[in-house]
Amino acid sequence: MKKIAIVRKVFAAFTGEAMLRESGRLPHAVLFPFLSAGYDVYLEASLPRRLAAHYRCDESSLPDPAARLLSRGELTLTGDPPDAPQEFLYLYDEPLATAHRLPWRKRVRVRFDLFAPHRLRAPIIAPYPVHPAQADSLRPPVLEHLRAEPRRVRVLFAGDSKGYARNRVRFPAPKLPRLDVLNTLRQCLPEDVIDVGGAQDIAVLCAGGYLDKVVLSDSGTGIPSSEWMPNIARADFFLCPPGIVMPMCHNLIEAMAVGTIPILNYPEWLHPNLAHMTNCLAFGDKNDLVAKVRLALAMPSQQIAELRANVIHYYEIHLRPESLVDAVEAREERDISMLLYTELNMARNASKLRRNSVVIAGPGSNGWLRRFVKAVDRVFANARTGV
């Protein structure tokens, strides 16, 4: 059978309120992978106006993540669906009346419920992205340069801890909050922990040669955006404690992109799960945290190099922005659900997290109900195409 070439075109319409949250990071998370993969992306033109109304600002002063997306020259704003929808992927959150029943090549609905089991159809869980401010650092020449930079620090944390004292996740076990993680290391490893300010302090430390210590830059915005990825790339390990609302943080993905090995307590939140001593160091309670950091401090260079290679491999296969596009195009079915990690969903539904929640069980299970629905979908797809 002759392979049909994929037409790389997307029409996106985000009309629901949920997509306006997080300063525009959510539409950026959905559309940037397609832009990176070379697709022609057309965005329904009301989104900038609705973002401006949501944030009570002019369209010229939108929050940074939204502004970064809308300023991309590869993105085209349009008031109408395309004339040849059969060539396009249709990305949407709420059905657009003028577009939903058109004969799209595929329809991809963006949803947020990671706590339901999704027993009927397997969703795609969109990889958690880097922050939009770091998206251009993911270009291959930039990443290759950052990965090749000499490492100067054994373990680094950079970020903020103000307000990071609460834990919402109770399954499969309570997560140690970020503030507790940092304070535990300060209390239990005082000889190995160095507290610093921002990028300038880190640079001064690194100027003296390799530092076999835990460096905590609990400085909030003490590292400018342009210096963020190079600073993460200075370290062999990056401490990735949970965020304020949910475990996932951009710094985990940014660290893995540059080959810095994450130390974290939520490996099951990625799919496939991260694996301790393969592509991360995973810890549980305070005692285990201290043990795993000591393990990092004592690890020989050859083992660190092996873990780093595994981290880069995992990123390239599962976290690279284009991997989301690959997952969509690999699906046989025409109608697909794409799930995003969002703070609002986490805040509202943390108590619903269970063993069979898709974020824990993963999207790939293949029970009889899914097999039945998939067979029915295939019958309708064949009927539609005349096969």
Residue range 161-184: mean pLDDT, rounded: 92
Mean pLDDT of 13-35: 97
Tell me the mean pLDDT in the region 23-33.
Answer: 97
Q: Is the pLDDT of residue 195 over 80?
A: yes
User: How much is the pLDDT for 170?
Assistant: 87
The pLDDT tens digits for 102-141 are 999 999 999 999 999 988 889 999 999 999 999 999 999 9
Instruction: Give the CA count within 13 Å in the CB-facing half-sphere of 35.
Output: 23
pLDDT (tens digit per residue) in 217-241: 987 768 999 999 999 999 999 999 9
Provide the pLDDT for residue 31: 98
Mean pLDDT for 166-177 is 90
Regarding pTM above 0.75, the answer is yes
Q: How many helices (H) and strands (E) does the chain have?
A: 14, 13
Residue 220 pLDDT: 72
Question: pLDDT for 297-320, tens place per residue?
Answer: 999 999 999 999 999 999 999 999
Decide if 12 contacts 43 (C-beta within 8 A). yes
CA–CA dist 49, 57 (Å, integer): 10
- CA dihedral of residues 242, 70, 67, 250 (deg, nearest 10): 10
Mean pLDDT computed over 36-54: 97
User: What pLDDT, on a 0 to 100 scale, did the predictor assign at position 119?
Assistant: 85
pLDDT confidence band for 208 (50 / 70 / 90): confident
Q: b/e per residue, 295-313, with b = 16+ CB within 10 A? A: bbbebeeeebeebbebbbe
Percent of the chain with pLDDT over 70: 93
Domain extent listing, the chain: 9-127+321-385, 133-319
What pLDDT score does 375 carry? Answer: 55
pLDDT of 145: 97
Average pLDDT over residues 199-209: 91
Tokens of 73: 């020259």
Architecture of the domain spanning 9-127+321-385: 3-Layer(aba) Sandwich (3.40)
pLDDT of residue 176: 96
Look at residue 121 in the predicted model and tell me its pLDDT. 85
The per-residue pLDDT for range 328-373, each reduced to its tens digit, is 999 999 999 999 999 999 999 998 999 999 999 998 765 555 555 5
Q: Is the pLDDT of residue 194 over 70?
A: yes
Predicted confidence (pLDDT) at residue 179 exceeds the cutoff of 90: yes
Instruction: Give CATH for domain 133-319.
Output: 3.40.50.2000
Q: What is the rounded distance in angstroms from the CA atom of residue 42 to the CA atom of residue 319?
A: 24
Res. 386: pLDDT tops 80: no
Please report the pLDDT score of residue 1 as a whole number: 42
- Residue 24: predicted pLDDT: 96
Arithmetic mean of pLDDT, 370-381: 54
Band (2; pLDDT cuts 50, 70, 90): very low
Helix (H, G, I), strand (E, B) or coil at 13: strand
The percent helix, strand, coil of the chain (3-state, each to 5) is 45, 15, 40
